[in-house]
Structure 1
Amino acid sequence: MCINFICKRLGLFPKRWQVVADSTAQLHFLRNPTPFIIRSFSASNQHSFTVSYLVNSCGLSPETAISASGKIHFENPKNPDSILALLRNSGCTNTHITKIVTKLPSLLLVNPEKTLLPKLDFFGSMGLSGARLASILSSEPIVLMRSLENALIPKYNFLKSLQISNEDAIKILKSSCWISCGNLERIIATNIAVMREIGVPISHISVLVARYHTICQRSDKFSENVKKVVEMGFNPLKFAFVNALQAVCQTTESTWQQKMEMYRRWGWSEDEILSAFRNRPQCMQLSEKKVTKVLDFLVNKMGWRPAVVARAPIAICLNFEKRVAPRCSVVKVLSLKGLIKKDLKLGTFLNLPEGDFLDKYVIKYQDEIPQLLDVYQGKVGFVELGFGSS
């Protein structure tokens, strides 16, 4: 309540003082439009011990600290200081700590000796420490709140039995589905048995486990998808089988049909679509926007026939701006100049390492076409080179 109002009610101001006080109060309000009660509340929170600690010791912004103080509260620094000391001893920098506390402020309330230290020791026993461990913890600190005896250790042992690396194991354990699903190991074991039965190497299976969304699929559906991939002609002994299975598992039937129709509109036959999928399973996971952009460029602007592109699906899977567009532009100019054969396969030059491409297709022809490097860098188009419309 405003002090002027209280004094006036108690008759402590002479009348002429009241006028001055009222005017002063009005002027102050106009200069400070935030209501008094809100400013008082904010000031109170900003100076509470919890907020002050979060700002000064953990690096949170005042706004974030105020928000976090609604979830946690402590009146002395003993416990949070111990938590921060353990994190620092494990390799966390101030930046890591800020990220961890911002995402999981309740970590400052756990028992440092009973809850946090055993988990940090556990991760250390896995060979994770220093910057690697700090990066993982700051990315997903919720792993520090999982039960060591009931979740982390048994699930970790299960993952290690599948030849999963320690780093991948930690990344997997961060996922809530791995911790919250009690029968997940049974589902995964069943799905692994399906793959082992047809000869998929354990090293390939471990990759699928690391990409846990695929291997966690309901067993009956997973078996159905494995059968589908085999019928498409993929060899279970080859790594392409794993990529194809992942693509099929992560694509619904309706989405699959939409992708098929999209490629048909670009003139691809059923066999060409399937052949492209066998070559690059990723092509059935790309967005229609990405595919349309690349095929419009290759077919309508560069002049490659749809069937030619279908035989080199790598062209729609690579980064368009950084690799496909600049390399195809250079090759098109060289072809129009008659310096290379016109039917050069897309995969021939798109697969080359950067240095090899520059040596073979740019530097080699700099004398004949001085602006070729500018074409590669997107600084010069076909119009400037006298080839008509770009």
Structure 2
Amino acid sequence: MCIKFISKRIGLIPKMWQAASITQLHFLRNSTPCIFRSFSASNQHSFTVSYLVNSCGLSPETAISASGKIRFENPKNPDSVLALLRNSGCTNTHITKIVTKLPSLLLVNPEKTLLPKLEFFRSMDLSGADLASILSSRPSILRKSLKKVLIPKYNFLKSLNISNEDAVKVLKRSSWSSSGNLERTIAANIAVLREIGVPISHISFLVARYHSIGQRSDKFSENVKAVVEMGFNPLKFTFLNALQSFCQMTESTRQQKMEMYRRWGWSEDEILLAFRTCPQCMQLSESKVTKVLDFLVNKMGWQPAVVARAPIALCLNFEKRVVPRCSVVKVLLLKGLVKKDLKLGHFLSVTEGDFVDKYVIKNLDDIPQLLDLYQGKVSFMGLEFGS
């Protein structure tokens, strides 16, 4: 009764009700009056909402919101757009994500605008699933000019020996797919790296995965110089990690990080050694560093200098790797079952299987609770060691 009454008052066309899905009818029965006014704005509006729900998988609420940005009277153009997306490997789930993020895509010219871009991406030897994933995660890439943006930037990336898959990932970044001439900055920064001998494979990795390569050229040069002066070898991969750390932090932030380690008793040389060994340790939050060092120094009894020589301990997963492995090794040290000079960085870095075999299973006869300790079923502090 309610639906019939409202349909008479607002002039909804009966055929629309016949075409509407059960989802739409349920939505209408439970909607507020303002929602009905959205449907009644025009027959064109109502058709757009119905299409977005039934053909694109949008929720009624999302469809109504999207219909404020796009409207169409018949399904010819949207159907052609969806057909091209499906032919490119997009599933219904992908299409829902794409249209939700970029509803205006349904209005583009399928043959002149969309098809050439899809063919361009398919020419990169991407699988249908990979292309669909890329399009659904950032469909705005389809709004970029093929001739002015996508092709020139792709050719530039390929000149750096970057894989097709990585090239597409880079193009997805909003900064890269903009119309600005970012290549000029990138080229200048690459020239700085090549001048000091950074291998082209390392440069390609930096371009594909890090935003720091797009930093303003004068600032980038300063950071490169600082990293070199700290003793990092441009030929080694740790140079890239150190450079990335420098590019992501201001000088004041770096000083704050160093002061944080000083409070834990690290000397200047130890801080520098830790950074050279594991540059990522300078990007960690103070809460993460405090949690790990409190456990290793105050609970496990390792000296701060020992941790400084194994900064990887700060970067690994605390609960899943650091706590269980250090607890096991500490028990073994107390029982005299491993050498006292066992390196912290060594047993934290070995594979899961190797650690379990060498440090847990091997010593179960002497310490039956060792496996429970490793699995977190008993705590180190509550374990009885005996003599």
Same fold, judged at TM 0.5 (above): yes
Aligned to 1:328: 326
Distance 1:39 1:74, change over 3 A: closer
2:231 counterpart letter in structure 1? G
Q: Is the contact made by 1:214 and 1:249 (CA closer than 8 Å) also made in structure 2? A: yes
1:48 is displaced (CA, Å) by: 1.3
Deviation by residue 1:111-157 (Cα, 9 ceiling, x = unmatched)? 11111111111111111131111111111111111100000000000
SS in 1 for 2:211: helix
Letter in 2 for 1:379: K
What is the match of residue 26 of structure 1? Answer: none
Counterpart of 2:207 (choices 199, 206, 209) is 209
Following superposition of structure 1 onto structure 2, how do residues 145-294 of structure 1 map, counting pairs within 5 Å?
Answer: 145-180=143-178, 182-294=180-292
User: What CA distance in whole angstroms lies between the structure 1 residues aligned with 2:36 and 2:92?
Assistant: 31
1:380 aligns with 2:378: yes
Contact 1:200–1:237 at 8 Å: present in 2 too? yes
Residue 43 of structure 1: CA displacement?
5.2
Q: Is it true that 1:93 corresponds to 2:72 in the alignment?
A: no
**3-state SS in 2 of match to 1:369:** coil
User: In 2, distance between residues paired with 1:33 and 1:92?
Assistant: 32
The 2-side partners of 1:324 and 1:214 are apart by 30
Distance in 1, Cα, partners of 2:57 & 2:30: 30
CA distance in 1, matches of 2:141, 2:58: 21
Equivalent position of 1:38 in the other structure: 34
The amino acid of 1:89's aligned partner reads N
Q: Report the Cα offset of residue 271 of structure 1.
A: 0.7
Letter of the structure 1 residue corresponding to residue 263 of structure 2: R
Contact 1:72 1:105 in 2 (8 A): yes
Alignment root-mean-square deviation, CA: 2.2
Moved over 4 A (4+): 32-35
Aligned-pair distance for 1:42? 4.9
* 2:313 paired residue number: 315
Q: Distance in 2 between matches of 1:327 and 1:288?
A: 23
* Range with bigger deviation, 124-133 or 144-153: 124-133
Partner of 1:19: none
User: Contact (CA 8 Å) 2:335, 2:385: kept in 1 or not?
Assistant: no
Any idea what the Cα deviations from partners look like across 1:38-70, whole Å, max 9, x if unmatched? Answer: 253255479811111111111111111111111
8 Å contact from structure 2 (residues 223, 246) kept in 1: yes
Could you tell me which amino acid in structure 1 is paired with residue 362 of structure 2? Answer: K
- Following the alignment from structure 1 to structure 2, what is the Cα–Cα distance between the partners of residues 174 and 383? 50
Which segment is superposed worse, 176-185 or 199-208? 176-185
Q: Give the equivalent residue in structure 2 for 1:22.
A: none
Q: Which residue of 2 aligns with 1:353?
A: 351
User: What is the CA-CA distance between 1:387 and the residue it aligns to?
Assistant: 5.8
Amino acid at match of 2:380: F
1:212 to partner: Cα distance: 4.3
Letter in 1 for 2:275: F
Does structure 1 conserve the Cα–Cα contact (< 8 Å) formed by 2:189 and 2:213?
yes
**Paired position in structure 2 for 1:305:** 303
TM-fit CA distance, 1:295: 0.8
Equivalent AA in structure 1 for residue 36 of structure 2: S
Alignment CA distance shift 1:387-1:40 (3 Å)? same
TM-score by length of 1: 0.88
1:114 aligns with 2:112: yes
Among all aligned residue pairs of Structure 1 and Structure 2, give the percentage whose two residues are the same amino acid: 81
In the alignment, structure 1 segments of 5+ residues that lack a partner are 5-31
Displacement of 1:183 in angstroms is: 2.5
Q: Do the aligned partners of residues 79 and 146 (structure 1) sit closer, same or farther apart at CA in structure 2, a change above 3 Å counting?
A: same
SS in structure 1 at match of 2:350: coil
Q: CA deviation at 1:101?
A: 1.1
Amino acid paired to 1:40 = F
Q: Is the 8 A contact 2:88 2:131 kept in 1?
A: yes
Q: Secondary structure at the match of 2:265?
A: coil
Deviations 1:261-283 (A, max 9, x none): 11111111111111111101100
Once the 2 structures are TM-superposed, how far is the Cα of residue 383 of structure 1 from its aligned partner? 4.2
CA distance in 2, matches of 1:97, 1:293: 44
Aligned positions, number: 359
Partners in 2 of 1:361 and 1:181 — Cα distance?
56
